[in-house]
Amino acid sequence: MRTNQTARLLLLSSVATAALMTPAMALEAQAFVDRVAEVYKHIGYDLSFGAATLDGDTITVDGVTVGFTPEVEGMEPTVFDTELTFSGVAEGADGSYTVESLTIPDIDTEFASAPEPVGHVTASDIRADSLYIPAGDTVPAVMLLQLVGSLSSGPVVVTRDGEEVFSVEGMEAVSTFNPSQGTADLVDLSSVLNISGISLDLSTVSEEDPAAGATIEALGLTNVSGDITQDFSWTMADGHMTLNEFLFDFADIGALDITGEFTGLTPAVLDQLYAMQAAMATTDGAAPTEEQAQAQMMQGMAIMQGVNIVNTSVRYDDASLAGKLLDFFAAEAGTDRATFVTGLKAQLPLMLAGSGIPALNDVVIPPVEAFLDAPESLEVKIAPPSPTSLLVLMAAAANPAGLITALGLVVEANQAAE
């Protein structure tokens, strides 16, 4: 008898414990997604998650709707009706969270149907690793910089009526934090991005726009392929950001590379930008009052005063596109390429006259003429004599003649990359 009573008590105890634990687990899972949504508001996202459930250290979420805050006109929130799996979730003593990975099932779905052309997209191996969700009512920018360690995906393919029109072999973005992710004493970070095997089929453009399709075919752009890579480093104390590469490299077309070096982009400056964004969001799209506009202008000027340009460059290396464009427009004008180029050269001074900066002629015309004669590369460089704030450069714009010197503006053609 006593044995039976003991067994019953143990059974009732286990049932009661399970009943008490179940809502607690659900509450913890919900608290996690609520915290994710709250943190991402600070960087302009409005996330609305579906039901969240907890199993060990794994939280599964039934879809998410993604919008923007403040709202972007013409952009409705996007519903992602797919399961999100946050694995290796751990809560810190301060209320922050770390997540080993976020994964979603492979995508294989239609996004348009008859009578429109049937669109279909597939994507695989989509994941984010080393997620950090900071705690606190106010989240400083230095913590927002550390939200994600890496993002990646496998192949992505988009088809139109069964024909492939766009694909990517894979994408990976990785950030490295020093000393470690999730510290308020972050010293520096570095980040690399690689989108490889981009392929774009533009042959179907003619079905919607025959004129544009004819131009694309004449320029040999019906099939485009290439890669996008980026590499930058950033120190927190002085806000020194070095953009080593932001390269768009497309076969048989050309490569566009943007590099630069800036100082003063500190977390404190980012905090000011986020504060401005939050202030704009409170207006609900209405025009700001005179006081609000003045405050925003003063904030903007303070930010520009603190951010300095050390140098920046935009370089284009041609791989046949420039020559094809010259041949195409020459044919459109009913002349040969040499004659067309001569006419363009004659128009350059007239084009620059509207700038009101006569000195631009000496800076721009010789390299542009050289590029038109033999399209190899064209590069625009800005390198002030010393790091110069954005506010000073704006003031220099009031004196166009001195702006070239203030910017250290140089234009080069057909020079080897440094």
pLDDT tens digit sequence for 39-84 = 999 888 999 999 999 999 999 999 999 999 877 777 788 888 899 9
On whether residue 258 sits in a domain, the answer given is no
Q: How confident is the model at residue 143 (pLDDT cuts 50, 70, 90)?
A: very high
On whether residue 164 sits in a domain, the answer given is yes
pLDDT tens digit sequence for 293-302 = 787 888 888 8
**14 has a pLDDT exceeding 80:** no
pLDDT tens digit sequence for 341-395 = 999 999 999 999 887 788 899 999 999 999 999 999 999 999 999 999 988 888 7
Q: Which of 2-6, 257-261, 303-307 has the highest mean pLDDT?
A: 257-261
Residues 126 and 211 in one domain: yes
- 201 dihedral zone (left: phi>0; alpha: psi -120 to 50; beta): beta
Number of domains in the chain: 2
On whether residue 301 sits in a domain, the answer given is no
Q: CA-CA distance, 358 to 70, in Å (whole number)?
A: 43
pLDDT tens digit sequence for 196-253 = 999 999 998 888 899 999 999 999 999 999 999 999 999 999 999 999 999 999 999 9
Q: What is the pLDDT of residue 288?
A: 76
Q: Which domain holds residue 73?
A: 1-86
On whether residue 313 sits in a domain, the answer given is no
Residues 147 and 112 in one domain: yes
Residues 55 and 152 in one domain: no
On whether residue 137 sits in a domain, the answer given is yes
| Of 208, 237, 266, the domain-final residue | 237
Radius of gyration of the chain (CA): 28
On whether residue 361 sits in a domain, the answer given is no
188-201 and 308-318 beta bridge pairing: unpaired
On whether residue 140 sits in a domain, the answer given is yes
Residues 123 and 223 in one domain: yes
On whether residue 274 sits in a domain, the answer given is no
Identify the residue with better confidence: 168 or 271. Answer: 168
Nearest to 102 by CA among 45, 192, 33: 33
Residues 118 and 228 in one domain: yes
